[in-house]
Chain A
Amino acid sequence: MYDDVFIHLKDRSKEDEVADINVNTVNKYFGDVHVIKDISLDIKSQSFTVLVGPSGCGKSTMLRMIAGLEDINSGTISIDGQVVNDLPPKQRNIAMVFQSYALYPHMTVFDNMAFGLKLEKRSKDEINERVNEAARILQIEDYLLRKPKQLSGGQRQRVAIGRAITRKPKVFLFDEPLSNLDAALRVQMRVELAKLHNELDATMIYVTHDQTEAMTLADDIVVLDTGIVSQKGSPLELYDKPNNMFVGGFIGSPKMNFMPSKILSKSADSTEVDIMGMSKISVPKLSASSSEGDAVTLGIRPEHLVVNGDSDGSWESKVFVVEKLGDVTYLYLEKDGEPLVAEAEGHSDIKVGDTVKVGFPAGRCQLFDSSNQAFK
């Protein structure tokens, strides 16, 4: 019974340590360039939020504004209910991990990790304890006395993360931490970051341009496009119900196929469209703003295209490239403009030049209107 109380208390204290982050109609200009346009975000305590988008979309700027490394032109950012617009980074109780690791080259791993604590004038014992604990979590105990240049890329990134951990901040900010690593290491570190988030229960904000990292790590994904939030939601929400063509195309790999289509007719619960003049399909999605004859775009993911099987709408198409990856085979089908990618089974015997029948179940596709917004 007492145990329960203690556990409860422990949980409470943990909740106190971590923080909600509120971004309220924030704007940022670099000279005349409006890079962040009226962005508002709520980031829940203890969540893992990934800011994702193509380069130049403002995701790093957003992160740096939360960190306090960039000024905010208008709007407010608050951490744990406190507006931090004018607070320097050190008073925001955050830690940041940079893409280039940004380790101090003249200090040992230990000193790198202890730097923040020394500045806070912590006691020697406390510094030792915290650094050793962080080193244990990140499995870099053997390297504590080395200099950064004696470490590999993955080890350096661990040190950079360790430097963030030791200070026990409320919020962890990651600025493309894995993009300097090679592919294999990136996958490994991704898993470790996910583990770390579970272990630390801290609020984490993670910036990346890699949608795989976003999908695998995030509780919430925020897709940014040229300074505005395109969509925010859980990975599967974004995957299943993209708000617009940008999100549809950005999330998922290989990317969603887009096909020009036309609305043939509308009914109470579905819309009938014509796909490139090759096929007709009735889609259970509606948009108030569309009318018969409008040009729309139909989006369908490669994995939802059915090759030589039963489907709602189907047509025949010629294969001009076959990519065999073992578990799946990607077929590149002829289409005006960009090719259509379809996923077939791993040991498919379809060859280049073959003609295949492709189609898809009506429920799997997305419709986007002329302003690229999705039909609900």
Chain B
Amino acid sequence: MKKISLSSILSQLLLLFFVIVWLIPTFGLFISSLRDKDLLAISGWWTALTTTEINEIYRMSGMEAQIEEDGYFKIKGTLFEENSGKKIESFGINSKKINEFMIGDIAIFKNESEVILDQDGNYEWRSKSEFQNKKGKRLFTTSLSPPSFTFENYREVLFKEGIGRAFVNTMAVALPSTLIPLIICSFFAYSLTWMKFFGRDTLLAIIIASLVVPLQMSLIPILSIYNDFGALFGVAAKSYPGVWMAHTGFGLASTTFLLRNFLKSLPNEMMEAAKVDGASHYDIFLRIIIPLSIPAFASIFILQFLWCWNDLLVGLVFLDQVPSEIILTAKLKELLGSRGENWEILTTGAFVSMTVPLFIFFALQRYFIRGLVAGSVKG
């Protein structure tokens, strides 16, 4: 029998609480991004699976569409797009009485023309005399819309709003910004752990000290150095290599520190055995350290990658806000200003930016946890 203690119940409840707090907004965002933009504007995502009552205004076709039939001039058409699934409950011809008529009622305009409407939105507008209206009359409909999900938002956001391009840009920033420090730091951490040289401990102390330096402090000085440097070689200061270098620099201390903690936990005798076997430092690093460090590399990759992916500040400072360089977070911020009322764009854009972290988290979560406890628990 497993013993159930108060503290374990509490911790389970706490866990449940965090799961709910995290899951509900994520789920909401996801549902919202798949909803029809009109529905999204009037009802919350939790109503997505119920039918929604919506009021809309449509204009019938004008005089060009009229045909003569059975002694009437008729204009036929449909209000809804095909397969909308909407069912009209009532309609009106006057903005003050939008629920005046039920389906099957004949609504009569002042000019004695009359209109009948079925629930799928097909209307027949007829008149004894020829229509002279250049524009059709307005119809006010109240209809029930069934739950509808669409990828339209994604198509819109990815290809029209430039989120797709921003996604690619962010990848182009985040991947090198993760791999470069990982490569540099693995060598660095190895030498800090397993090689003896003068000033090693001082170097380590400097690295630990630099962990607490906020990156905001150094953004502007670095940019100004970039400017001088760029001017020297005639290249733009703001560019991908610049942002890679910035991320690399900012990630160097923490990456080295985490990797060193991991390498420190590898048994010393194994390195000595390899040395006796005739391995040089390079052999040890390549044939023993690298294969054994895959879990550590993976977890540090995740941490650094997510950091770069979610970063806004560095991307804003070191990249121009042009379509070929703008990153996702900056793009979303821009959309928030220009398209703040188009929720379908914002929710979808936000969800697109979340897909990569979510994918990484689910695919590599065991490394994620291992990385967070790296060095504290012996594996």
Contact = CB atoms under 8 A, between A and B. Distances in A.
Contacts of A115: 274, 277, 279, 287
Contact of A96 (B276, B287, B288, B291): B276
A67 interface: yes
Interface in B267-320: 267, 269-270, 272-279, 283, 287-288, 291-292
Nearest to B268: A102
A120 interface: yes
B267 A90 contact: no
Contacts of A254: none
Contacts of A232: none
Nearest to B196: A71
A100 interface: yes
A94 B276 contact: yes
Nearest to B271: A102
Contact of A119 (B267, B279, B292): B279
A89 B292 contact: no
A106 B279 contact: no
A88 interface: yes
Contacts of A69: 272, 275-276
Contacts of B275: 68-69, 88-90
Given A68-B275, A100-B267, A116-B277, 5 more contacts: A69-B275, A69-B276, A89-B272, A94-B276, A104-B288
A92 B239 CA distance: 53
A98 interface: yes
Contacts of A105: 292
A103 B292 CA distance: 12
A186 to B, nearest CB: 19
Q: Binding site of B, secondary structure by majority: helix, strand, loop or mixed?
A: helix
Given A89-B276, A96-B272, A120-B278, A106 B267 contact: no
Contacts of B270: 102-104
A119 B269 contact: no
B278 A90 contact: yes
Contacts of B276: 67-69, 89-90, 94-96
Interface string A100-129: 101111100000000110011000000000
B268 to A, nearest CB: 9
A163 interface: yes
A167 B287 CA distance: 18
Interface string A240-264: 0000000000000000000000000
B269 A99 contact: yes
23 contacts: A69-B272, A69-B275, A69-B276, A89-B275, A89-B276, A89-B278, A90-B279, A94-B276, A95-B276, A95-B277, A96-B276, A98-B272, A100-B267, A104-B274, A105-B292, A106-B291, A106-B292, A119-B277, A119-B278, A119-B283, A160-B273, A163-B277, A167-B277
Given A96-B272, A163-B273, A102 B267 contact: yes
Contacts of B277: 90, 95, 115-116, 119, 163, 167
Nearest to B292: A106
Nearest to B278: A90
Nearest to B288: A104
B68 to A, nearest CB: 87
B2 to A, nearest CB: 28
Given A105-B292, A106-B291, A119-B283, A98 B273 contact: yes
Contacts of A102: 267, 269-270, 272-273
B230 to A, nearest CB: 45
Contact of B269 (A88, A98, A116): A98
A253 B276 CA distance: 35
B378 to A, nearest CB: 13
A93 to B, nearest CB: 10
Interface in A162-184: 163, 167
Contacts of B267: 100, 102
B193 to A, nearest CB: 16
Which 9 A-B pairs rank lowest in CB-CB distance, beginning with the nearest? A90-B278, A116-B277, A102-B269, A102-B273, A98-B269, A106-B291, A89-B276, A96-B276, A119-B278
Contacts of A68: 275-276
